[in-house]
Amino acid sequence: MHSELIVSGIRVHIDGDGPDTFVMLHGWPDTHEIWEGQVRHFKRTHRCVRFTLPGFDDPATRGFSVRELMALMLAVVNEVSPNGPVTLMLHDWGCLFGFHFAALHPNKVARVVAVDVGDATSPAFARALSLRAKLMIFAYQMPLALTWYIKGALGNRVARAIARFLRCKADEASVHAGMSYPYAMRWMGALGGLKALIGPTELACPIFYAYGRHKPFQFHSEEWLRRLSATAGCEAESFKASHWVMVDCTEQFNSAVSQWLALKA
């Protein structure tokens, strides 16, 4: 069963009618469609709720601040699950925004499934990064931040070239400079910046963290990974995958999450 509704001007897609609700949040340069493999699997047992981050599907749309994104997420969660908490399934920027939402609204989030971005806002992560990793991050994120200011055909060409270089899973034709506002927030403090973001180290709810091994660097610290693995109810698992674990290893990822959820039942 598939249905759609409009919440705060955003189209929300709902599949399945299980007793528990997943709210899925993607990152750059994706849309809600990146979760297709998970929806096919989990809609048999859960309600799968997903939407495209505002501005990611419309090059002409302005960027959105953290406060605005949190208000949107709260409106969606209140609409689709007014009587109980949800499970967040997050990837990339979706992790950063989702962790912050879970910290602000702990009564709204029962558990978190995070893919490939962990404590990326923590001092431990900053300390753990090698100079090479820092340079690599700067080398693709700063140009993306600039594309949000450049916009237009040139901004789109640069954003698509970076997406191609990073072997992103999105259709290259759908990538545009308007998607880059999180990087402008990160590097230029645009739209209020990201300094206030609360990371996963502050969450009390159970976390399942999946990350890919086939990458030049990780978006988590080993310190946090050890702490997570030692925390009752939490789990961390690596996969033979790139940054897009849920696409590269769809069946393995879905199975691992299902097993973890069964332990929480």
| 87: its two tokens | 């499970």
Q: What percent of the chain has pLDDT over 90?
A: 96
| 236: its two tokens | 């961390």
**Domain spanning 2-127+198-264 has what CATH number?**
3.40.50.1820
Q: What is the per-residue pLDDT across 142-165, written as a single tens digit (0 to 9) for each?
A: 999 999 999 999 999 999 999 999
Q: Which residue, chain included where needed, has tokens 């055909």?
A: 153
Give the per-residue pLDDT at 201.
Answer: 93
The amino acid at 237: E
How is the chain split into domains, by residue range? 2-127+198-264
CA dist 159 and 181 (Å) reads 12
Going by their DSSP bridges, the two strands 2-7 and 20-25 should be labelled as unpaired
CA dist 167 and 64 (Å) reads 26
How high does pLDDT run on average in the chain? 96
Strand extents, DSSP E, the chain: 2-7, 10-15, 20-25, 46-51, 86-91, 109-115, 207-212, 235-239
Beta bridge partners of residue 208, listed in sequence order: 113, 235
CA distances from 204 to 112, 138, 183 (A): 10, 32, 28
| 178: its two tokens | 């308007």
Give the Cβ contact number of residue 57 at 10 Å.
Answer: 17
pLDDT-derived band at 62 (thresholds 50, 70, 90) equals confident
* Pair 145, 15: CB distance under 8 Å: no
Give the per-residue pLDDT at 89.
Answer: 98
Question: Is pLDDT of 265 > 80?
Answer: no
| 202: its two tokens | 């502050």
Q: What is the per-residue pLDDT across 185-237, written as a single tens digit (0 to 9) for each?
A: 999 999 999 999 999 999 999 999 999 999 999 999 999 999 999 999 999 99
Judged on CB neighbours under 10 Å (0-12, 13-18, 19+), 29 is buried
